[in-house]
Amino acid sequence: MCGFPLLHLDKHLKVLVQQHKRFVAMCEEFPRKEEFGAKEFDRRVTRIITPGTLIDEPFLNAFENNFLLAIDVPFPSQGEINNDTPMIGLAWIDVSTGEFYTKKTPLETVQDDLVRINPREVILSDTFEGVKEHPLMNALVEENCFLNFISRSMDSPTEEQTAPRPDYSEEIPLSTVEQTAVDLLTSYLNANLLESMPPLTNPVQDNGGRMQIDAHTIKALEIRETEYDGSSRGSLFSAIKRTITNGGTRLLSRWLCM
């Protein structure tokens, strides 16, 4: 715990959240009704800041999306053997811009999706907490993804604490795994953003109607960053970038990796 002048908030948040990947709970004072001329305050947590829920412009890279990704994977029961490749659900959002996507994909291609989406934080059900030997966990470790777990008990927040969770099933034909991933994502946003929770738009389904580049090709061709130092300088992205706005730059980066 620490206290410091509000003027220094940006500096400390950048160090704690971006550099050290810590969660920061912000507590603010709210004045009570004055009694007998004395001012009293209630203190409560107004927001929990994580790498994937940053909405503060000073911390964001103007050239890249700050995606928070939720993944739903059907977890087999103990002793169950399934030779079929399971389908998993992905739901990812950039809270700062409102861009919201879903996708149903085979588990064996999840690493390719991780490289294309390039999330700042990945959310899984707490069913996977402590699990190491699983294809999904192997892909997350290999791509050095920042991982967090959410309990299923958080799926039913109180109305006083959070906004109602939208149901897109009637408007968009989401698969079961996609809807579950959306539920994980919105539950996590509700639990962390609290009073700062923005209204969510309908997600856009990434239905895979075009050829997609796999993870190894993106890295080998140095499309978004170079193998040498991991920067964009010298990559294909930097060579063809002629965009004027920050939004255009983020869009170009996504197009190149799809």
Question: Which of these, 208, 124, 207, 123, lies nearest to 173 by C-alpha position?
Answer: 207
Residues in the chain: 258
- Evaluate whether residue 35 is within a structural domain: yes
Mean pLDDT of 30-48: 74
- Evaluate whether residue 1 is within a structural domain: no
Going by pLDDT thresholds of 50, 70 and 90, the confidence category of residue 80 is: very low
Report the predicted TM-score, pTM, of the whole model to 2 decimal places.
Answer: 0.75
Q: Does 79 share its domain with 185? A: yes
- Mean pLDDT of all residues belonging to the chain: 79
Q: Answer with the residue of higher pLDDT: 70 or 27.
A: 70
Q: Does 115 share its domain with 217? A: no
Mean pLDDT of 4-15: 78
Give the per-residue SS3 of the chain.
Answer: CCCCCHHHHHHHHHHHHHHCCCCEEEEEEEECCCECCECCEEEEEEEEECCCCCCCHHHCCCCCCCEEEEEECCCCCCCCCCCCCCEEEEEEEECCCCEEEEEEEEHHHHHHHHHHHCCCEEEEEHHHCCCCCCHHHHHHHHCCCCEEEECHHHHCCCCCCCCCCCCCCCCCCCCHHHHHHHHHHHHHHHHHHHHHCCCCCCCEECCCCCCCCCHHHHHHCCCCCCCCCCCCCCCHHHHHCCCCCHHHHHHHHHHHCC
- Evaluate whether residue 37 is within a structural domain: yes
Q: Does 158 share its domain with 88? A: yes
Q: Does 177 share its domain with 103? A: yes
Q: What are the tens digits of pLDDT across the range 215-231?
A: 778 788 888 788 777 77
Going by pLDDT thresholds of 50, 70 and 90, the confidence category of residue 21 is: confident
Asked whether the beta carbons of 65 and 97 are under 8 A apart, the reply is yes
Q: Does 97 share its domain with 223? A: no
Q: Does 115 share its domain with 30? A: no
For the chain, the domain total comes to 3
Q: Does 88 share its domain with 158? A: yes
Q: Does 149 share its domain with 219? A: no
Q: Does 196 share its domain with 90? A: yes
Q: Does 69 share its domain with 26? A: no
Q: Does 19 share its domain with 109? A: no
State which residues form the domain around 33: 6-50
Q: Does 153 share its domain with 184? A: yes
Q: 49-53, 177-181, 237-241 — which one is most confidently predicted on average? A: 177-181
Q: What are the tens digits of pLDDT across the range 96-152?
A: 788 899 999 999 999 999 988 989 999 999 888 888 888 899 999 998 899 999 886
Q: What does residue 151 show for φ and ψ, rounded to 5 degrees?
A: -75, 145
